[in-house]
Amino acid sequence: MVPSVFNMRLKDINHISPPIFGVPPMEGTPLPPAFKQGEDVFLEVHLRLDDKPITIDNWDLSAILKQNKYAECPLWTGILNNGIYEGKDGKTEGCYEIIIPSSVTSDLKMGTYWLDIKGHQKLGKSDGIRDFTMVFLTQPITIDYSPSSPNPGKALNSQTEEGTYPQTFDTRRA
């Protein structure tokens, strides 16, 4: 007996162990952490390099909040004990808390910002010939408005209108 085309079932692509080419996975990309305008931003990060924890004995750490991923002008910079703090228990090496104060977030407009954790290796602590400066973490964060935001005026005119029309040219003035 030959199976009929009408009796065949298609495979359930969501429950197959090998992925099918061209079908996106079900998980999706996790959203960046969201905070409200005017509240403190608390982030806990674990920093490691080559399976070794990043410690303040060997590295000078700084946290940089930027408008976008490639911006050169920081909106806020935090250093050790002024924005970057060792973990709560103090026993876990490489665990740090990043705290962006509410005075900074109250001046931000709604949108996505980028937080970089940068480290500069202290002089003489390098395993090699020279000391390193590198970015350990690049994390997007989202700032949203709430009815109790301290600067409700920033919510007004927060959208910019950009057209994609071609540039107009007046032939009478040419």
**In this model, does residue 63 exceed pLDDT 80?**
yes
In terms of Cα–Cα distance, which of 140, 154, 162 is closest to 68? 140
* 10-38 tens-digit pLDDT: 555 555 555 556 666 566 667 788 998 88
**In this model, does residue 49 exceed pLDDT 60?**
yes
In terms of Cα–Cα distance, which of 117, 84, 123, 113 is closest to 101? 84
In terms of Cα–Cα distance, which of 45, 51, 7 is closest to 137? 45
What is the pLDDT at residue 3? 53
**In this model, does residue 5 exceed pLDDT 80?**
no
d(CA 78, CA 135): 14
* 95-137 tens-digit pLDDT: 999 999 989 998 888 889 999 999 988 877 666 656 678 899 9
Within 13 Å, how many C-alpha atoms sit on residue 4's CB side? 2
Q: Structural domain boundaries of the chain?
A: 34-142
Q: Which residue has the higher pLDDT, 58 or 113?
A: 113
> What backbone phi and psi angles, to 5 degrees, belong to 133?
-125, 125
What is the pLDDT at residue 79? 94
